[in-house]
Amino acid sequence: MIIRKLNIKILILLLSIIIVSGYFLISLIIENDKFNNLKSLLNNEKKQLIIKYIIPYRLISQQEKTISKQKQIINKLKNFNWASIELYEKDEVSDIIIKESNIELSNNLTLKKFELNSGFYAGINNHFPGSGYIDFFKDNIVILSSRGILAFRKNLTDDEENFRQIKNNINDFIDIGQYNKSRTFSLKDLLIFNKKIFVSYTEEIKEDCWNTSIIYGDMNYESIKFTKLLSPKECVHSFKNLDKNFNAHSSGGRIQGFDNNHILLSVGEYLERYLAQNKESINGKIIKINIDNNDYEVISMGHRNPQGLYFDKENNFILETEHGPQGGDEINLIELNIANKDKIQNYGWAISSAGEHYGGKNEDSKKKYEKYPLYNSHSEHGFIEPLKSFVPSIGISEIIKIKLNKYVVSSLRDKSLYFFELNKQREIINLNRVEVFERVRDLKIKDNILYLFMEDTASIGVININKY
């Protein structure tokens, strides 16, 4: 009995030695190039089975190396200077190539996407691809990248046609020096109005001190020479500031036509919150600019980061959208018949908001709430209530009118469009969300066709809303 038990132990030991030896032998053969002749007897499928089930550590090691390489590539892409590549293509004046695809949306809507496969590389929020803006001139669609590439084409149905670049001097005003400081320093909007082209941008007024400015020129398809229309004397320093906060994302910059002699501009407060309630500052304001003499007047105040602007001429009001803090994106209606210099319409930031300061109410933010309490009610504190507050925030962007009393607003974070109507009491009704699956930076309408600039793929989206 004892001898039998001993024999079993010896047998188990021998089998263990054979298995371990075989394991290391197979590993040696698989991993060593000296045994290529022997390995050639195994096809690739058998090799992978051996690696997967007999020596899985090698598969794990390979996967770890792959993941590590992928992380290195991603980090390199994040740090890659896409702005330089974009400006190089601008200097080359090369065509912007597009690729078409279709996506079915809700409400029986179809989104046609025209992806810009070249030129639009540097994003405002994303590192890559590029952000941009859309407008029209003489039935041609015009696009502007956030780094100054300006291009046009007749339509989006001719497969043979690319976007052709328009030479310009935009980078005399903001260039690679500013772009390299932060991707948030960028062009902010495009407006073609009365045969003029207007571009807003974050201007470095003084070293590391910024505000939102406008350049303009005569619109044509060959070459445009821009000059300054508005360049504020005041600026917000990127680190020497009162609130110890700064972000050029909060710069506003939306431009809208008003009448033959005026345009509208939204200006953010760059996170210097007190400026929104300072009547002597243009920050946190909607201003009306005289394009003949460069004078301006404040239309409304108490705004945080106005990202959408639409002048409804038929109803004589302005619709404005703005980013709230943590929650509290707003749609505001500015009545022009009661606007005057003595009593500027005030929308409450940074005293009232449906949102919270980032991080919420805690010990670290106690002083911030003492200075900027963010009361949920606007009207109780002498301010105008928004038409709507979005909690949580949707990353609200442009707003436009599509039909009589019907409007649509786009979003960045929520990657959706919100269609709505205004009733006779000027209240929002029939709010309807349509997801488009990408951040929408800009929005335009022409002949019942909705045009979107979608910045996750640097694409122009096209939606026919004729039956909407």
pLDDT at 440 over 80: yes
pLDDT at 340 over 70: no
Residue 74 has a pLDDT of 45
> What string of H, E and C letters represents the secondary structure of 93-129?
CCCECEEEEEEECCCCCEEEEEEECCCCCCCCCCCCC
Question: pLDDT confidence of 339, banded at 50, 70, 90?
Answer: low
Residue of higher predicted confidence among 340 and 14: 14
Lowest-pLDDT range of 93-107, 225-239, 427-441: 93-107
In angstroms, the CA 26 to CA 364 distance is 60
Arithmetic mean of pLDDT, 265-294: 97
Lowest-pLDDT range of 26-35, 200-209, 458-467: 26-35
Neighbour count for residue 351 (Cβ, 10 Å): 19
Average pLDDT taken over every residue of the chain: 88
pLDDT at 70 over 50: no
pLDDT at 425 over 50: yes
Residue of higher predicted confidence among 286 and 23: 286
DSSP string over 418-462: EEEEE-TT--EEEEEEEE-SS-EEEEEEETTEEEEEETTTTEEEE
Arithmetic mean of pLDDT, 300-320: 97
Question: pLDDT confidence of 145, banded at 50, 70, 90?
Answer: very high
Residue 94 has a pLDDT of 86
Question: pLDDT confidence of 198, banded at 50, 70, 90?
Answer: very high
pLDDT at 67 over 60: no
% of the chain residues with pLDDT over 70? 81
Arithmetic mean of pLDDT, 49-64: 54
pLDDT at 168 over 80: yes
Lowest-pLDDT range of 88-92, 155-159, 162-166: 155-159
pLDDT at 159 over 70: no
Domains along the chain with CATH numbers: 2-74 (no CATH), 82-464 (2.120.10.30)
Residue of higher predicted confidence among 454 and 34: 454
Residue 25 has a pLDDT of 53
The helix-helix angle for 2-31 and 56-79 (nearest 10°) equals 30
The helix-helix angle for 44-53 and 2-31 (nearest 10°) equals 130
Q: What are phi and psi of 387, to 5 degrees?
A: -60, -35
Residue 393 has a pLDDT of 97
pLDDT at 126 over 80: yes
Lowest-pLDDT range of 280-289, 339-348, 381-390: 339-348
Arithmetic mean of pLDDT, 219-231: 98
Contact (Cβ atoms closer than 8 angstroms) between residue 199 and residue 187: yes
Arithmetic mean of pLDDT, 418-441: 97
pLDDT at 151 over 60: yes
DSSP-derived pairing of the beta strands 167-168 and 223-224: parallel
Contact (Cβ atoms closer than 8 angstroms) between residue 28 and residue 20: no
Residue 363 has a pLDDT of 86
Residue 399 has a pLDDT of 98
Residue 60 has a pLDDT of 55
Arithmetic mean of pLDDT, 337-357: 86
